[in-house]
Structure 1
Amino acid sequence: MDRLSLAFASAALLVSIVTTVVGYKQLSLSRRVRREQLEPYVIVDISPRAPESQMLCLSVENLGPTVARNVRLQIEPPLRSTLDSQREEILRRVVGRTIPSMPPGRKIIYNMDLGHKYFAADPPLPLVYRATVNADGPFGAVETMTYDMDLDVWPETAIHSETVVGQLKEIAKKLRKG
C-alpha cells in the first residue's frame, strides 16, 4: 500500500509541477502580448501623397497606442530623386536624424519625387528599398522592424501618368515658345 501511495503522491507532484510550468509560460506570454499591445508601432513607407497625386512621398507614422521615442531609420540603398539636386541630400538628412518623439497617430511626410519622372528616369532609379526602424517605447527598446518597400507596385497606377494640370502646363509652355 505504501508503494501505491508513493506512486500517487509522485504523480500528483508531477502534475503540480507541469501545471505550474504551463501556468508560468501562459503568464509570461500574456505579459508579452500586453506589452506589445502598449508599444508604439512606427512604419516607413513610400507612396503617393494623396489619391491620384503625382508626388511620391516618404512617410514615417506611429500606428501604435503610445509615444515612440528616439525613432531611428535606415533605408538601403539611399533614397533617390529626379527633383532638384538638393532633394537627395534632404532625404539623406531626414533618414539620418533621430526623431525625438512621435505621439500615437503622428505622420510625418517628406516629398520625394514625381511618379512619372521617377519611373522614367534614365538610368533607372531603385524600385526596392529596405527600411529598418528602431524606436523606444514605454518599456525600453521596441523590437527592430526591417522590411522592403517595393515601388514596382506603382507604375501601372495613376501615379505613373502625367496629371491633367501637368499636361496643361506643358501645353502653355509650348504655346509661349511659339
Structure 2
Amino acid sequence: METWIAVVAALAAAAAAIATVVSGRFVRQQVREMRRQTDLQQAIAEGSSSPYVWADVRLQSRNGWNLEFVIGNSGPTVATNVRVTIDPPLPTDHEGAFLEAMHQRLQEGLSSLAPGRTLHWTLGPSPDLVNRSGSLAHRVRIACDGPYGAVAVSEYSIDMADFRESVARHDGSFVDVAREIAALTKKLPEQSKPFRVRLDGEQD
C-alpha cells in the first residue's frame, strides 16, 4: 500500500511539474506577444506622427515649360536637419551658380521643413534637359529627423528621360488671371477724359 501511495505521489508531482513548465511557457509566450503588440503600436504611432520629406523634378505650373526641383514635407510634423544628396548632381547649365549653392545647402542640411511646405529651384527649359545624351537618372537620398528622432532614410531615382514624349501642360494660375485683367484694363477708355453729353443726346 505504501508503495502505491509513493507511486501516486510521484506521478502527481511529475504531473504538477509538467503543468508548471507548460504554464510557464504559455506565460512567456503571452509576455512576448504583449511586447510585440506594444512595439507594433508604438511604431505605428511614431510613423503616423513622423514627417514625410520627398523630392521630385516637375514642370513649372506657371509656364508648363521649365523643369524645377521641388522638396516638400507631406507629413504631420516638422522635419529637422533635412539632408538631401543627389548623385549625379542635377545639371547646372541654367543658373549654375544657384544650383551649385542648392546642392551644397541640401547636403549640409536644412534646419527645418514645416508640414505642407515646399521649396522650388528652377532647372531650365525642359527640352534642353530631357534631350541630353547619356543617362539622365539621378539618385536621390533623403534623411531627416522628426519628433521621435531619426526618420528612415528614403532612396530612389529620378530619371529626366521619363519626361520625353510627355505633354507640356500649362494649368494656369492667378498670375495668368492678373495678366488678363491688366490687358482688359488697358482696352478700357481712359477715365481721366471728361465725359460730355451733347445736346442731341449722344455721348462723347
TM-score above 0.5, yes or no: yes
| Structure 2 gaps, min length 5 | 1-11, 170-204
CA distance in 1, matches of 2:154, 2:102: 20
Change (3 A) 1:84 1:8: closer
CA distance in 2, matches of 1:126, 1:89: 20
SS of the counterpart of 1:158?
coil
Alignment counterpart, residue 153 of structure 1, candidates 149, 158, 162: 162
Contact persistence 1:75–1:132 (CA under 8 A): yes
Q: How does 1:55-70 map to 2 (within 5 A)?
A: 55-70=66-81
Q: Equivalent residue for 1:165?
A: none
SS of the counterpart of 1:61?
strand
What RMSD in Å do the two structures reach over aligned CA positions? 2.1
Deviation (angstroms), 1:32: 1.3
Alignment counterpart, residue 95 of structure 1, candidates 99, 102, 106: 106
| Structure 1 gaps, min length 5 | 161-178
Deviation (angstroms), 1:145: 1.3
Question: What per-residue deviation string (whole Å, max 9, x for no partner) do you get for residues 129-154 of structure 1?
Answer: 11111111111221211111122221
Contact persistence 1:118–1:125 (CA under 8 A): no
Contact persistence 2:70–2:119 (CA under 8 A): yes
Deviation (angstroms), 1:159: 3.6
Deviation (angstroms), 1:83: 2.1
- Paired AA for residue 135 in structure 1: C
Is 1:130 the counterpart of 2:166? The answer is no
Aligned length: 158
Asked which structure has the greater CA Rg, the reply is 2
CA distance in 1, matches of 2:78, 2:157: 24
| TM-score normalized by the length of structure 2 | 0.70
CA distance in 1, matches of 2:47, 2:165: 37
Change (3 A) 1:113 1:94: farther
- Paired AA for residue 44 in structure 2: V
Name which structure has the greater RCO, CA cutoff 8 Å, separation 6+.
Answer: 1
Question: What per-residue deviation string (whole Å, max 9, x for no partner) do you get for residues 100-131 of structure 1?
Answer: 1111111111111211111234xx26411111
Contact persistence 1:39–1:137 (CA under 8 A): yes
CA distance in 1, matches of 2:143, 2:53: 8
Identity, in percent, stands at: 23
Question: What per-residue deviation string (whole Å, max 9, x for no partner) do you get for residues 60-98 of structure 1?
Answer: 100111000111111000110432443543443443342
CA distance in 1, matches of 2:149, 2:100: 31
Contact persistence 1:64–1:105 (CA under 8 A): yes
Alignment counterpart, residue 90 of structure 2, candidates 61, 79, 82: 79
Deviation (angstroms), 1:31: 0.7
Q: Equivalent residue for 1:4?
A: 15
